[in-house]
Amino acid sequence: MPATPEPSAAPSLPTGRRLGRQIGRQGALLFSGFAVVQICSFARNAIVGYWLSRGDFGVAATITIALQMLEQLSDLGADRLLVQAKDGDDPRLMAAAHATLLARGVLTAAILFLVAGPAAAFFAIPSATSAFQLAAWVPLIKSLMHLDSRRQQRGLQNRNYLLIEVVPQVHALLATVPLLYLTGDYRAVVWVAIMQAGLSVLTSHALSKRRYALGLEMEFVRRLVAFGWPIWLSAFPLVLVYQGDRVIVGRMLGIEALAGYSAAFMVAMVPGLLAAKVGHALLLPLLSTQRDNRQAFFDRYLTMYEGVSIAAAAYVVAFVIAGGAILPLAFGSQYQGLGPVLGWLAAMWSVRMVQAVPGIALMARGETSPLLIAGIIRATALGPALLAVHMGLGLIGIAAAGVLGELASAAYVIQRTTRDIPGLGRATIVRTLYPLLAALMAAACMYFVPHATNAWIQLPFGFVLAVCAMLAGLAVMPRLRLFIDGKLQPLKVSAVRPTSPPPAPTTTEATYAVQQA
């Protein structure tokens, strides 16, 4: 049914110090909320890893892969358009987004149900066919989500969005042990996913400030298609990016190898996914509101980029050093000996974290086609991954191939961003990446240096080195230091018309330019 127009309820962003305080509050809220989400998800997977055999855990991983593949292949980015578009508060646009989401869910559920048999046969687990069919309920239920929380993010209001993420995760964690006890095998994972999807939908409707409506006005449908088709096409190489390596492992190395690789992948992705979620919720509104103000866009982008580079450097050092101790503690002694695999996966995620910032900048400017090309570039890493398997390099070779693909994809996205953002030179970006590059080289060298295998030594050692990497990064990041000292204000918006040249640099900005040179 068509939606009737309503007055806008999303506040505009403040500026200057007020915006800084709001970003600080929202950043803390997002970090704590998504930290709870990731902790609950990780704890749930750890419980499943301890409870099930590696074989059953591998079967559960294949079902998760199938769900994630279909979700990515049906994504049109309707929720992100509500954040990015200037008229994202228009209820007719939201109604069209709801209709798109519903159609996506119905189609995804039908496909998963129909391919359940062939998918189970592909992984040589025909007994899991009924579990694949049961999992089709997950995308169908999620298609009824209310998107009002995404619209509220336009004004940096993330509370409801976080509750929709946190409430289902907490209840899913609480239900994991009872469902494992009742089913005794991988089917518990499917029932947890169904329950989590249902709670997400109910929470989204309970917290919405607008009534749920469906609409198919062609003007908005065309805009959704124009915005979403590059995202949709980019999903095909992204499926190869995010799931292709695990498909190779499950098909060519077996279900138990897939269980080990999936456990290492889950550990590595927790910080990276946390950073990505917080970054998208904060950076996209901040950059979208200033896409016509070149100086403000430049200042915000580069300050954010420096911060993410430092965080990625600390992350990769910590996981390369302590990863071998973390994995057995999290999933049990049957997952020992996977430290090198986790180290390579951490390196891959660190590059992905850095790439996220220019990707968000492009999306904020309404440019989504470069993301498609970046995904295609990243997908070419499957060739080296297959070669690594044939050469007997196993899981380490597959993970190392993923690092190469991420580096190539990041190089393209960064190059495209420097071309499209005036004043953002390649030399500036390269200097910004120094901490991460140094951390990757230091992490690689650690493989040739004998170090303790005791978890109580590795864990604090990794933490200390991560802190050192962060402090070293701050030493070579003048813009971020000036921002922390309050001498640089990228959140202050000057009245610059889109066609006007950027204002003359202030004393602080001139000092920063000299330091960069």
pLDDT at 399: 86
Q: What is the predicted pLDDT for the residue at 429?
A: 61
Angle at 294 between CA 288 and CA 295, to 5 degrees: 110
Calpha distance 12→443 (Å, rounded) = 44
CA 407, CA 355: separation in Å to the nearest integer?
9
Encoded tokens for 278: 């917080």
The domain segmentation of the chain, as residue ranges, is 11-235, 243-489
Q: What is the pLDDT of residue 503?
A: 36
**Residue 88 has what pLDDT?**
67
Distance CA 257, CA 335 (A): 10
Phi-psi region of 450 (alpha: psi -120 to 50; beta: other; left: phi over 0): beta
For 262, how many CA atoms within 13 A lie in the half-sphere containing its CB? 31
Closest residue by Cα to residue 139 from 214, 228, 67, 213: 67
Integer Cα distance of 59 and 71 in angstroms: 19
The packing angle between helices 369-379 and 218-242, to 10°, is: 20
Select from 312, 302, 306, 285 the least CA-distant residue to 406.
Answer: 312
Taking the C-alpha atoms of residue 508 and residue 489, their distance in angstroms, rounded to an integer, is: 9
The secondary structure of 24-63 as a DSSP string is HHHHHHHHHHHHHHHHHHHHHHHHHHHHS-HHHHHHHHHH
Residue among 228, 249, 268, 278 nearest 406 (CA)? 268
Overall pTM surpassing 0.75 (yes/no): no
CB neighbours of 221 closer than 8 A, spacing ≥ 6?
A: 96, 100
Each residue's pLDDT tens digit in the chain (517 positions)?
444 444 444 445 555 555 556 666 666 777 777 788 888 888 888 898 888 888 888 888 888 888 877 777 666 667 777 766 676 677 888 888 888 888 888 888 898 899 888 888 888 888 889 999 999 999 899 989 998 888 777 666 778 888 998 999 999 999 999 999 998 888 999 999 999 999 999 999 998 888 898 887 787 777 777 776 666 666 676 677 667 788 888 888 888 888 888 888 888 887 777 777 776 666 777 777 776 677 777 777 777 777 788 888 888 878 877 777 788 887 877 888 788 888 888 888 888 888 888 888 887 777 767 777 887 888 888 888 888 888 888 888 888 888 888 888 888 888 887 776 665 655 556 666 665 666 666 556 555 544 445 556 666 766 776 777 667 666 666 666 666 655 555 555 444 443 333 333 333 333 322 233 3
Residue 443 has what pLDDT?
A: 57
What's the confidence (pLDDT) of residue 427? Answer: 58
